[in-house]
Structure formats: structure tokens, C-alpha cells
Chains A and B, each alone.
Chain A
Amino acid sequence: MNSIWTIARKELSDSFRNRWLVAISLVFATLALGIAWFGAAASGQVGYGSTPATIASLASLGIFLIPLIALLLAYDAIVGEEEGGTLLLLMTYPLSKSQLLLGKFLGHGLTLALATLIGFGVAGIAIAVLVDGVAVGALAVAMGRFIGSTILLGWGFIALAYLVSVRVSEKPIAAGMALAIWFFFVLIFDLVLLGALVASEGKLNPELLPWLLMLNPTDIYRLLNIVAFGDSTQLSGVLSLGSDLPIGTGGLWLGLGLWCAIPLTGALLLFKNRKI
């Protein structure tokens, strides 16, 4: 446990040192406040709209940004150590491969969680203080759910980045594959799903279709932040399938949790079998 924390602590202090933490927090806070005040500008008004609309916009933005940041943060976790020669050295220390990877996960996970908490937390507090007549209780719940799910989504993509990082032997390849993962889940998956739906002309089992959304953590994340308001009109595109999902919010949380646990377990197993 001590060695896990030593590794985590280094990652965390690295992200303080290279200003990652500050930068991400600032980006999150700026975006959140911008969306809160100018999100409704398209409909001709400036100012805070409603909490559900703000959260929905934030979540839509979050699915682009969070995976990207998580992948960037974590893609060189192992392959970077290997290129510098420190992986070989670390493995001669009283430190197992699992401890190294879990330490990295803890460090990167805490970095992302802190940035999310600070960035969106500050924005939430600003909204609560500055906007007259906002229901603070409802806002706190929505923001809490948003921040929680954002952190889980980020952790999932950190774990996905590790899957790449423990397999490849060069940093540029890891970066390329991390981008491919982002492309697949954020841009391609929904398009393919939509295409498959249209092409199948309703021949696919309608019971099965909503479950396909569970195959993409970013879809679960969006559902979680929009469905929770009980307002399905916000659901567009393939997400409208989500209203047919027979699982409640708990199921969605579980799904997001599994998207952290399964890639992380996979990365641990792959790393164990990697030759040093």
C-alpha cells in the first residue's frame, strides 16, 4: 500500500508542478460559467437559464473534453517510464507491476478528480451565489451528480489509456491509439449505432437496442445527467433509445463504474504478462 501511495504521490506532485491541475481546473470553471450564462444566448437571452439545461449542455461538452483530458493525462503512464529506462529500474525495486499501475491510477485519478471538483465546484458555487432565485438544493444535487459522473467517466478513460500504454513500446504509437479510442467512443460509436438502426429497418430486436448504449461510457454519462431530470425531451439522436432502458439511474452508475473496473483489470492483466 505504501508503494502504491509513493507512486501516486509522484504523479500528483507532477501534475501540480507542470500546472496540469491548475490548467484543467481553470478550463472546467470557465466552460461551466460560460455555458451557465451564455448557454441560452442562441435563443436570444443572456443569463442563467435553468439547471437541467445547463447540466445537459455541460454534459454534452464533457463527453468531448473529459475523455480527451483523461487520455492525454494517462497514455504515457507505462510506455513513458519504459522509454526513459525507469520502468526496468522500478521493477528491480520491491514494487510489483500491479502496485505500479494502481499507484499511477490513484495519482492520475486524483488529479482528474481534484480538477473536476475544483473547476465545476467553483462554477456551481458561483451560480448558487450569483443567480437570484435558483433552487440551491436542486442545483447542488445536479452538480454533485454531474461532478461524480464526470470523475467516473474520466477514470474510465484513464483505464482505457493504460490498456494502450501497457501494450505498446513507443510513446507516439500510444498517443495515436489514445486518440483513436477518443475518436471511436466520442464520434464514431453513435454514428455507427444510428446507421445500424436505420439500415436494419426495425429488424433488430427492440429489447436489445437500448442496451447497446451501455457499450459506450460517454453515452451512459450523458444519459445519467439528462435522464435524471425525468425530462426525455432533451434526449436527441441515439440517446432517445435510453428512455427505453429498463435500468434506473443506479444501473447507469453501475455501468459507468464497470467501465472503470473492467479496462483497469484488463490493463493489470496485460501488464503482468508484459516482458520487461
Chain B
Amino acid sequence: MNCFQLENVSHRYDKTTVLRGIDLRLNPGEILGLFGHNGAGKTTSIKLILGLMKPSEGKVTVLGGEAGDPHVSQHIGYLPENVMFYPQLTGREILSHFARLKGAPLNQVPKLLEQVGLGDAMNARTKTYSKGMRQRLGLAQALLGKPRLLMLDEPTVGLDPVATADLYRLLRDLRDEGTGIVLCSHVLPGVEPYIDRAAILTGGSLKAAGDLPSLRRQANMPVTLTVKPAGNLLELEKVIDQAKQSTGLMMKNDHGTLQVDVRPSDKMALIETLIQSGEVADLGIHQPSLEDIYVHFIGSGGLAHRGGSQ
């Protein structure tokens, strides 16, 4: 059973189309990164999956049922982007309240608070909490009742690097136990190592979806080689220039090293040529990162068309 499946989903607010023909699916035990600029349709997609609204067209299936059905919502954990909990209540009281609403056992409450590192602060009123602590409380809230689908909107905001690493470790454990996880984030380098698949939205349509290798293939972006000359820089340039006729690559000077962009298919051939020439002291290979791929698919048309509200 899929965690969720969007089939040809479109959505309009009044007359503005915010989602166009989205097909997207999440399997159990998978972490999906959902990326896009502001107003790309991320929030709308999340709201549709959470059942907060119905799509104008298309079909949304969640955990084998209908989005928004109480039996389905019970198994979904959601961390909203910015939530101020009831300031006059303690962390423990708030989590107990939400546990009752979700039908989760109350003995989970102290355990979850320990797990997110709020064990010492659980009896303090949340108005004394820092942003990071509120975020942890939100996370504990999302984990109530052992959800089978977890939706996290910017989960690392306000978390220090150690807490961020803890969070991702926790998410991996949950994934290995079969939870499907959706991660929305603007901190692309941060999430890159942890996601199994990425979906990139822009202007309400799904630009690309898949695991990183397949996205790299789709994007067909050059791999960057950083080459340090063994002796003469000019000799090295000559070697690369000669190879250029066959591979069509670019070169830039940068602090005595050469940066060479090469098409993925030509990469191995060039490396072999370089090594055989004996002019290379050191060689670095830089695959396009998630951020590079994201920028490639979003296009770099400036901020103008990326505006709009969430």
C-alpha cells in the first residue's frame, strides 16, 4: 500500500491555478524530499495529502483511504512550518492533549519528550521555550501514535547541528521501520544525504521526481573535475585541450588548479587520458549536488517569477 498517491491532481484557489496535473507517490520506508520555491505549490500539496482541502481535479489516496478520513489522519504525523503552541501550558500538558486527540497512549508522552531532548523541560511552560525547543515539541507531536506517514515542513529550523543530526538519525530509524516520510526544506545540502527521492515543484507543476542518480541523468549536467597540475600548468592545459576535440569540455583557471566541466558520459575517458599523461598531481570529482540539480530544474530566471505567496 502506498503512503500516498496523487493522480493527475490540479488545484485552483478562486481562479488561480496553484497545482497542475501532479502525479506523485510515496512508498512505505522511503524519504521523499519535496522542494520548490515559495508559491511553487508545496504547501498546497501537503494540505491536499493531509485532507485539509479537496483537489479541484484528480485523485488523492492516502494510506489506502481517502485524505482527511479520521481513520487515515490517525496514522499521519505532521510538523507544520511555524507553530506556536499554547504558551501557558507545559510541554507535557500540550503533548498529552494532542495524544488524547489522536487516540495515542498517554505513556508515550514522556518517552517522546525524552526522545526529542525535552526531558528536562517537559514541566516548563512553553512560553519559556526557545524556537528550537518548540520545534522539538512539534516533532514529538508529529511522532505521536507511531505514524505510518510523516510530513515534516522545515523540520530543522531553529535546531543546532547536533540536534539536526539527531533528527535525521531518528528519521532514518523510522524509515527503516517502514514509515513513509516527506521532507520539505530549503536547506538542500542538509537534506541531500538523507532523502531517497526528490520531487521538484515549480509554478504548480512537478518538474522532476526520482532518486538523485536518475535526476542527475535527467538533468544531464556536467561533472566538474578539479585538476592540480604535477608540474607545468600549460602542459596540463595542452593535454586537456587535445582531449577537448573529442569531449567538448570547458576549463577555468582557479588558484593554480584547473576546473574542467565534462559531460557525465565523457567523464571516465577524460580521467583516463589525464592520468596517462602524467601531468596530474591531484584530482577532485564533483558530482552536481541536489542544489545544482534544483537550480537547473527551477531555472535561474531571477527572483521575479519565484515570488507569490505560499
Residues of A within 8 A of B (CB): 2-3, 6-7, 10, 14, 17-18, 83-86, 88-96, 275-276
Please judge, given known A-B contacts A17-B88, A276-B47, whether A88 and B97 are in contact too, CB under 8 Å: no
Task: State the Cβ distance, A204 to closest chain B Cβ, in Å.
Answer: 45
Give complex CA distance A94, B100 in Å.
Answer: 11
B2 in contact (CB, < 8 A): no
Residues of the A chain whose Cβ atoms lie less than 8 Å from the Cβ of B74: 94
Residues of the A chain whose Cβ atoms lie less than 8 Å from the Cβ of B50: 91-92
Residues of the B chain whose Cβ atoms lie less than 8 Å from the Cβ of A3: 101
Residues of B within 8 A of A (CB): 47, 50-53, 70-71, 73-74, 76, 78, 80, 82-86, 88, 97-98, 100-103, 141
Residues of the B chain whose Cβ atoms lie less than 8 Å from the Cβ of A6: 97, 100-101
Please judge, given known A-B contacts A10-B97, A94-B74, whether A276 and B53 are in contact too, CB under 8 Å: yes
Task: State the Cβ distance, A17 to closest chain B Cβ, in Å.
Answer: 6
Residues of the B chain whose Cβ atoms lie less than 8 Å from the Cβ of A85: 80, 82-84
Give complex CA distance A88, B100 in Å.
Answer: 17
Residues of the B chain whose Cβ atoms lie less than 8 Å from the Cβ of A89: 78, 80, 83, 141
Give complex CA distance A275, B102 in Å.
Answer: 22
Give complex CA distance A29, B80 in Å.
Answer: 44
Give complex CA distance A198, B10 in Å.
Answer: 60
Q: Are A18 and B85 in contact (CB under 8 A)?
A: no
Give complex CA distance A93, B53 in Å.
Answer: 14
Residues of the B chain whose Cβ atoms lie less than 8 Å from the Cβ of A276: 47, 52-53
Task: State the Cβ distance, B203 to closest chain A Cβ, in Å.
Answer: 22
Give complex CA distance A10, B100 in Å.
Answer: 11
- For B79, give the chain A residue with the smallest CB separation: A89
Q: Are A94 and B85 in contact (CB under 8 A)?
A: no
Partner of A94, one of B53, B70, B84, B97: B70
- For A94, give the chain B residue with the smallest CB separation: B70
Q: Name A's interface SS.
A: helix
Task: State the Cβ distance, B101 to closest chain A Cβ, in Å.
Answer: 5
| Most B Cβ at <10 Å: residue of A10, A14, A18, A276 | A10
Pairs of residues from A and B, 4 with the lowest C-beta to C-beta distance, nearest first: A94-B70, A85-B83, A84-B84, A6-B100
Q: Are A93 and B73 in contact (CB under 8 A)?
A: yes
- For A95, give the chain B residue with the smallest CB separation: B101
Please judge, given known A-B contacts A6-B101, A10-B97, A17-B88, whether A92 and B83 are in contact too, CB under 8 Å: no
Q: Are A92 and B52 in contact (CB under 8 A)?
A: yes
Give complex CA distance A93, B101 in Å.
Answer: 7
Q: Are A92 and B76 in contact (CB under 8 A)?
A: yes
Give complex CA distance A17, B125 in Å.
Answer: 12
Give 30 A-B contacts (CB < 8 Å), ordered by A residue: A2-B100, A2-B103, A6-B97, A6-B100, A83-B84, A84-B84, A84-B85, A84-B86, A86-B85, A88-B52, A88-B80, A88-B83, A89-B80, A89-B83, A89-B141, A90-B101, A91-B52, A92-B51, A92-B52, A92-B73, A93-B73, A93-B98, A94-B71, A94-B73, A94-B74, A94-B101, A94-B103, A95-B101, A276-B47, A276-B53
Known: A14-B86, A85-B82. 13 other contacts (CB 8 A): A2-B103, A3-B101, A7-B101, A17-B88, A84-B84, A85-B83, A86-B84, A92-B76, A93-B73, A94-B70, A94-B101, A95-B70, A276-B47
- For B103, give the chain A residue with the smallest CB separation: A94
Q: Are B97 and A14 in contact (CB under 8 A)?
A: no
Please judge, given known A-B contacts A92-B76, A93-B101, whether A275 and B70 are in contact too, CB under 8 Å: no
- For B101, give the chain A residue with the smallest CB separation: A93
Q: Are A14 and B88 in contact (CB under 8 A)?
A: yes
